[in-house]
Chain A
Amino acid sequence: MGLVTLVWVGPFFWMALGSFKPRESIIATELVLRFSPTWENYNAIFSRFAFWTYTANSFLVAIATTFITVAASILAAYALSRYRAGGRLFEFWLMFTRMLPPATLLIPLFLIFRTLGLINTLTGLILADASFLLSFSVWLLRGFFDEVPVGLEEAAACDGASRMQSLFYIVLPMAAPGVTATVILSLIFAWNEYLFAIVFASATASKTLPAAANDFITGYAINWGPVFASGVIIVLPVAAAALLLQRYIVQGLTLGAFK
C-alpha cells in the first residue's frame, strides 16, 4: 500500500521539488535530481503578480461561501431531519441542483450578475458557489442530524427549551464532528472552485488563486517555475487540512456518498 500511495503522492512531490528549481533545471531535457534550491519562483509570483490579493480573495470566497451555505443548510437540514419538511418538490430540487453541471447555469448567471453589477466582484461568485454547495451540505448535515437521538430533545423540551434552543444547544454540539466535516469540505470545494471564478470574477482585484495559476499556462511558452509555485500555494492549505483533519474528511466523504 505504501508503494501504491507513491503513485498519488509522487506527482505532488515532483511539483513541490519543481517549485524550488532554478529555471535551467526545469527546462533541462534530462532527469534533474540535483539542483541548488531557490526561492526565485515564489519571489516572482508575489512580486510580479498580485498574488497576495489573489490569496486573500481565495480565502475570502472560501470563508464567506462556507458561512452562507452552512448557516442556511443547518436550518434546512434540521427541518428535513426532524419534520420531514419541504415536500417532494424541495427534495427534488435539491437533488437536481446537485446533479446539474455548473456550466449549464453559466450563461444565465452571467447575464443576471452583469445586470446587477456583480461581474468582477467577489459577491456574485460567493452567491453562486454558496447555492451550488447548498444541496451537498444540506444532505450531509441531515445525515448527521438524523443520528442525534430525538429523546434528548424531548427531554430538553420538557425542561422548557424551545426547538431553536434545542437545535443550538443539543443537536449542534452532538453533531459537532459532522458539522466540522461539512465546514471543511465546503471550504475545500469553494477554495478549489474554478469555472465560476473565471467568468464572474476575472479582474485583477477579484481574481482567485486557481484562475491566476491558469494564467501562467495559457500562454505559448509555459514558465513552469511560477506555475509550480502557485500550484504549491493552492495545494498547501488543502494538504494541511487533509493531514490534520483526515478523520472528518474521510467521514464526510463516506457519509456524503452513502446517506
Chain B
Amino acid sequence: MVLQRQVRLIPTLGVWIAALAASWVAIWRLMPPGPGAILASGVAFVALYVALMVRLGDGYLSFTLLIPAMILLLAVTVVPIAFLIYLSFFQVTILNFRGHWPFVGVENFIRVFREDPLFLPTLIRTLELLVLGLALQFALGLGMALWLNRRVRFESLLSTLILLPMMTNSIVVGMLWKHLLSFYNGLFNLLLNLVGLEGLPWLTQMPIGWAQALPALGPWAVEHLNANYAFLSILIANTWQWMPFMFLLLRAALRSLPVEPFEAARIDGAGAWQTFFFLTLPLLKGVIGVVLLVRAIDILKTFGMIWALFGNATITRVMPIHIYTVGIQTQDYSQGAVLSLILAGVSVLVYWAFQRGFGRKAPAWD
C-alpha cells in the first residue's frame, strides 16, 4: 500500500523536476549570471512548488513539505562539500582556476603537514582554546549557577542583561576587549594602576610571567602551548561572552531537578560536597553534555572575535582564520580545502566523542 503510493508519486515528481530544471536552464541561458537570475530562479521555484502542492494536495505531504529545505541544503551545503572534497585532490589556485586542474591525489594533505609551518601550531591552538575555554566557562558557569540558585528580584531583567554579550556581534565583542585590554589606556590597566599595580601587557605575545617561571614545563608551554598574554586575552573575552550561556542553562537545569533525592540525601547525612558529586552532577549529566557540546562546536567556529582583536596575526590564528587566509586571501584553493576538511573532521570527532561520552541526542543549536 505504502509502496504503491510512493510509486504513483514518481511520474508526477519526475515531470515536476524536469519542469524546474527546464525553467532554471532557460533562466540562466537568457539572463546574465547574477542576483537577477537567482531571483528569477527563486520565483520560478516558488511558482512550481505551489503548483505541485496544489496538484498533490494532502497525499504526499511527508515528502513535499521537505522540498524547499532540501533544495536549499543541497545547493548551499551538499554541493559545496562535494566540491570541497574534489578540490582537495587537485591543485587549484587563483593562477590556474580558469585553466587545467592537475590531479595530485593526496599530495595536498601531505603538503599541509610538511610544508605549512603554521598548520600544526594553529590546530593545537584551536584545540587548546576548545579545551581551556570549555573548562573555564563550564567551571565558572556551574559555580555561578550553584551560587545564584535562589530567586532574586528583577531576575528576568538581569538574565536578559547577562545575555547581551552572547547576542552581540563577535566583532563588537572583539573591539570592546581590544579597548578594555589596551596596554596604555585600557580600562583593565587603568584600574590596575588605580590600585597601585603595574599594567599588564595584554594582547601582546609577551609570555605570561608565572607560567614561564614554572620549572622545565614553563618555557615549553610558552613555546608550544601559547602561554602568552594574547592567547589569555582571547580566553578571557570568549569566557566573558559565553559563560552566561552556561550559567543560565545550568541554573534552569538545577531548578528543574526533583527535590526528593536531595531530601533523602540530607536525611542520610550526606555532606555538601558528597551531595554535589554523587547527586547533583550525575542528575545533571545529560544537560552538561548538551551545553558542553553546544559550546565546543561554537568555539570551533570562533572567527570574528579573534579577527577583531588580532586580524590574521600568526601567533593567534585559529583554524577558521587560517582557512580564510590561505583559501581566500592567498587564493590557494586546494590548500584551503584540505584545511577545511581537517576542521570539519575535528568537528565531527568532537560531536562523536560527546555522543559517546554523554549519550544524548544533539541539541538544536547553531
Q: A: which residues have CB within 8 A of B? A: 1-2, 4-5, 7-9, 11-12, 14-15, 18, 27-31, 68, 71-73, 75-76, 78-79, 83, 85-86, 90, 93-112, 115-118, 121-123, 127-128, 130-136, 138-140, 142-143, 162-164, 188-189, 191-192, 194-195, 199, 210, 213-214, 217-218, 222, 224, 227-228, 231, 234-235, 238-239, 241-243, 246-247, 249-250, 253-259
**A83 adjacent to B61 (CB under 8 Å):** yes
Which one, B112-120, B226-234, B321-329, is touching chain A? B321-329
Q: Report the number of A-B residue pairs with Cβ-Cβ less than 8 Å.
A: 323
Minimum-distance CB pairs A-B, first 7: A139-B364, A103-B320, A83-B62, A117-B33, A131-B76, A79-B65, A108-B80
Whether A8 touches B240, Cβ cut-off 8 Å, given contacts A107-B87, A110-B328, A250-B163, is: yes
Q: Which residues of B contact A75 (CB under 8 A)?
A: 65-66, 68-69
A136 to B301, CA, bound (A): 15
CB distance from A23 to the nearest CB of B (A): 13
A205 to B362, CA, bound (A): 39
Q: Is B280 an interface residue (CB 8 A)?
A: no
**B333 adjacent to A136 (CB under 8 Å):** no
Q: Name the one of B160, B169, B174, B287 contacting A242, with C-beta atoms under 8 angstroms.
A: B160
Q: Is B184 an interface residue (CB 8 A)?
A: yes
Q: Which residues of B contact A86 (CB under 8 A)?
A: 66
Q: B: which residues have CB within 8 A of A? A: 32-35, 37-39, 53, 57-58, 61-63, 65-66, 68-70, 72-73, 75-81, 83-84, 87, 97, 144, 148, 152, 154-165, 167-172, 174-180, 184-185, 187, 190-191, 194, 240, 244-245, 248-249, 252, 287, 290-291, 294, 297, 300-301, 303-304, 307-308, 311, 319-321, 323-324, 327-328, 333, 336-337, 340-341, 343-344, 347-348, 351, 362-366
13 A/B residue pairs, CB under 8 Å, sorted by A: A12-B164, A76-B65, A106-B336, A107-B87, A107-B336, A117-B35, A135-B364, A164-B53, A234-B169, A235-B164, A246-B163, A249-B163, A258-B287
Whether A8 touches B164, Cβ cut-off 8 Å, given contacts A73-B69, A234-B169, A254-B249, is: yes
Q: Which residues of A contact B170 (CB under 8 A)?
A: 192, 194
Whether A4 touches B144, Cβ cut-off 8 Å, given contacts A79-B62, A257-B364, is: yes
Whether A231 touches B80, Cβ cut-off 8 Å, given contacts A132-B366, A246-B159, is: no
Whether A257 touches B290, Cβ cut-off 8 Å, given contacts A14-B187, A122-B35, is: yes
Q: Is the interface of A mostly helix, strand, loop or mixed?
A: helix
Q: Which residues of A contact B324 (CB under 8 A)?
A: 103, 106, 195, 199
**B65 adjacent to A231 (CB under 8 Å):** no
